Structure 1
Amino acid sequence: MSKMVGEPAVRYEGSATGVAVLTFNRPDRLNAWAADIAADFYRHIDHAEADPDVRVVVITGAGRGFCAGAHMGSLDRLGELDGDVDVSAVVGDRPPHFLLELRKPVIAAINGACVGIGLTHALMCDVRFAAAGAKFAAPYARRGLIAEHGISWILARLAGPGVARELLLSGRTFPAEEAQRLGLVTEVVAADELLPRALRYAEDLAANCSPASHRVIKGQLAADVDSDVASATERAEKAMAESLTRPDVIEGITAFLAKRTPEFPPLS
């Protein structure tokens, strides 16, 4: 397969609207995950996270695939694997759940095959849009593998334990339309409308929502998923008291009453 010499493994495009678009750029292998994509992806994510002009991140894929799982190389190479396999050499040194820990919303625009570690990364995004006909799968059991990289955790929380069991134990392929019914995808749109739809959504968040609020809410979601309601409420009350000291609240209320777009300050 071509390595697309000179082409970055992940393209980065910023915009004046506060949205950064990261595009997996190995279409010759359906953007299967490997060290080249991992390195570029982490670098670009770090840049977007640190850039005060970026308020929302959109992730998509070039060509016919979003990310078709891990790129393991040839069968000869697989025959060399043993119990001392360095998984990070293939998938990188960050578990996919690092996306949940970012301060900024991350939107997945799933344009095609979304399989294995590609599915895990998509599920760790905050919101997902998918192209009609895109295929999803967690085929670990069909490859002699296990539910890796935290997919058993996130899948059960998004779709429920029963659905997670069925999808992981069967390893079957399912379409975007079923993914939406299962609660894994927010909306399914025509392929040529996918990125424009995801960008409109992301640009609305960037223009009308407080980056500070996004940061706190993402932290709440991460902390509260395995917590009890009393503890979640106690943390929320403390966070609310802190939020009232920030200029975002005055700006948000003033803009609402004036019927204008708010001008929230960026994250420092």
Structure 2
Amino acid sequence: MADGPVLLHVGTDGVGVVTLNRPDRRNGWNPDMELRYFEALEQVDRDPRIRVAVVTGAGRTFCPGVDSGRLDGIASGGLDLSGRRSPVRAWALRKPLVAAINGACAGMGLVQALLCDVRFAARGARFTTAFARRGLAGEFGATWLLPRLVGAERAADLLLSARVFDADEALALGLVSRVVEPAELLAAARAYAADIAANCSPASLALIRHQLHADQQSDLETALRRSYRAMAVAVTGPDFREGLDSFTQKRPPAFPPLADDLDPAAVTGAGLPELDVVPQQALDS
């Protein structure tokens, strides 16, 4: 993807960088960006050169939510969700996502950051849920995601007050993993992603990522049964042999690319909620 509202750059280190690219609109979310973003994630999933992806924003912002130019139209004409891709599509990926939050992160932008597996933030980046101060409900899973990351009371604070908080507070809350200087943000996130790409099995990453998401919705006994099924498959695969050999021989591993036909849901027996389009029953209720 050479231009457009979302860019995808594929590096030689196993890392893909997905950039929200509407800097003239502060990377405001609109239908075209949404479509291109999910297309980029699907390309990340299919491309054997990419083992981990970093998501960031062009210019000085990550994504401040829905493009302000669309809000009047939504207020007068309503929100049409029919046919839209599910906003939590990122969860269906088999590869880790690292968010490099370079500036304002709010609303839908915050939701997409929460759907990444690990979040880095630039010092000075500012966050807000925003919904309560715009007369809206908690958007696209924010009320489910936030409590699981920061706890119920802290999530209630952030959602009910819709107050602005900075990167250092986000770190203290557990919302981000690291805070770095703005000039170092992308390099730090890429270095972290490259370390995973160089040293971790793509098959293991796919299975563990799926387990992390599916097991949040399960009890311990169910999660254990799924882990037994996944482990039974993993120990018979080439990645386990390579992981063991590289460890005993004290050399870097040379794991094969992720197999196209590896379906973590089939391996673990754990499906995720409908992640393709917004379910019709959600529109009818």
Q: Does 1:53 align with 2:44?
A: no
Asked whether the 8 Å contact 2:99–2:119 carries over to 1, the reply is yes
Tell me the distance in 1 between the aligned counterparts of 2:158 and 2:72: 30
Tell me the distance in 2 between the aligned counterparts of 1:197 and 1:140: 31
- In structure 1, the partner of 2:145 is 154
SS of residue paired to 2:190: helix
Q: Which runs of 5+ in 2 are unaligned?
A: 260-285
Q: Does 1:191 align with 2:185?
A: no
Query: How many residues are paired up?
Result: 258
Q: Does 1:219 align with 2:210?
A: yes
Aligned CA distance change for structure 1 residues 7 and 53 (closer, same or farther; 3 Å): closer
SS of residue paired to 1:36: helix
1:87 shift after superposition: 3.7
- Higher mean C-alpha displacement, 224-233 vs 55-64: 224-233
Give a deviation string over 1:108-147, Cα, whole Å, max 9, x none.
0000000000000000000000000100000101000010
Q: Which runs of 5+ in 1 are unaligned?
A: 1-5
RMSD: 1.6
SS of residue paired to 2:63: strand
Aligned CA distance change for structure 1 residues 60 and 229 (closer, same or farther; 3 Å): same
SS of residue paired to 1:60: strand
- In structure 2, the partner of 1:3 is none
Give a deviation string over 1:220-250, Cα, whole Å, max 9, x none.
1111112111221121112111111101111
Give a deviation string over 1:35-63, Cα, whole Å, max 9, x none.
22112212211111111111011100011
Q: Percent identity?
A: 50
- Tell me the amino acid that sits aligned with residue 251 of structure 2: R
Asked whether the 8 Å contact 2:147–2:155 carries over to 1, the reply is yes
Q: Does 1:144 align with 2:135?
A: yes
Q: Does 1:80 align with 2:72?
A: no
- In structure 2, the partner of 1:171 is 162
SS of residue paired to 1:226: coil
SS of residue paired to 2:100: strand
SS of residue paired to 2:214: helix
1:80 shift after superposition: 2.4
- Tell me the amino acid that sits aligned with residue 229 of structure 2: K
1:261 shift after superposition: 1.1
1:27 shift after superposition: 0.9
- Tell me the amino acid that sits aligned with residue 14 of structure 1: V
19, 24, 29: which one pairs with 1:23? 19
Asked whether the 8 Å contact 2:38–2:90 carries over to 1, the reply is no
Asked whether the 8 Å contact 1:55–1:211 carries over to 2, the reply is yes
Asked whether the 8 Å contact 1:72–1:78 carries over to 2, the reply is no
Asked whether the 8 Å contact 1:100–1:126 carries over to 2, the reply is no
Q: Does 1:63 align with 2:74?
A: no
